[in-house]
Amino acid sequence: MTLSLFNQFVSPSIMWIPLAAIALALPWTLFPRQTTRWVNNRLLSLQSWFLSQFTQQIFLPINNPGHKWALLLASLMLFLITLNTAGLLPYTFTPTTQLSVNMGFAIPLWLATVILGLWTQPTHALGHLLPEGTPTPLIPVLIIIETISLFIRPIALGVRLTANLTAGHLLIQLISSATSVLLSILPAVATFTITLLFLLTLLEVAVAMIQAYVFVLLLSLYLQENV
């Protein structure tokens, strides 16, 4: 039973070719493309409005040098939302339930913000390791604690996204399995579990979008500290 629950998180392959790469490349084919017409369609207009609102909200507290990251973070936001929500469809694979994939997103981007801070303003970046007014005996301890918390940030980014999506997929599978069993035994209870499954699916769609937003929001906060 335990093995069958977690089989959905195993990366599928055909003829020893992992399909995770195809799943990662698929979202880019789903986005509407810009056209040369004067009037765009509604989907493209909605996408443009969403991106403008997102970038305005994320980059409002960030200085002008950090605005160069707008295209990268907005693209990452759309990419994660598409991956997370597409993984809720039947017979699909969600790459963002794999910790290795999420760490592949988190570590390079976090490291880029740290290197940017050390390159542009090293004194300010290193000053985060020691709060102002710290007593002298506590300086070595606080430097160690702040350094550990700094290196935990990418791990927290990847684990948070993986854990939330994995938990949602497991709950959906458990309730759907219980519903299929109860349909022939207790139809009244099965009706309740179907309603619960529908509400849980809506909740998971919201969680998929919120977790993508939180992932990019935390990256923008790390960028704000180093710009």
The answer to whether residue 5 is domain-embedded is: no
Domain enclosing residue 190, as ranges: 43-226
Check residue 152 and give its pLDDT. Answer: 93
| Cα 181 from Cα 183, distance rounded (Å) | 6
The answer to whether residue 26 is domain-embedded is: no
Place of tokens 């309603």: 195
Q: Are 142 and 130 in contact (CB under 8 A)?
A: yes
Residue 209 backbone dihedrals phi, psi, to 5 degrees: -75, -40
The answer to whether residue 169 is domain-embedded is: yes
215: alpha, beta or left, given left = phi > 0 and alpha = psi -120 to 50?
alpha
Six token digits for residue 55: 């970038």
Q: pTM of whole model > 0.95?
A: no
The answer to whether residue 141 is domain-embedded is: yes
| Cα 67 from Cα 223, distance rounded (Å) | 10
Give the distance, in angstroms, between the CA of residue 35 and the centroid of all CA atoms in the same chain.
29
The answer to whether residue 198 is domain-embedded is: yes
Q: Which residues of the chain have pLDDT under 50?
A: 1-3
Instruction: Give the DSSP per-residue string, 102-118.
Output: HHHHHHHHHHHHHHHHH
| Cα 58 from Cα 67, distance rounded (Å) | 10
Indicate the angle between helix axes 139-185 and 99-120, nearest 10 degrees.
150
The answer to whether residue 170 is domain-embedded is: yes
Six token digits for residue 3: 């093995």
| Cα 103 from Cα 106, distance rounded (Å) | 5
* 31-83 confidence digits (pLDDT tens): 666 666 666 677 777 777 888 888 888 888 787 877 888 888 888 888 898 88
The number of folded domains in the chain is 1
Query: Which ranges in 60-186 belong to alpha helices (H)?
Result: 70-86, 99-120, 122-127, 139-185
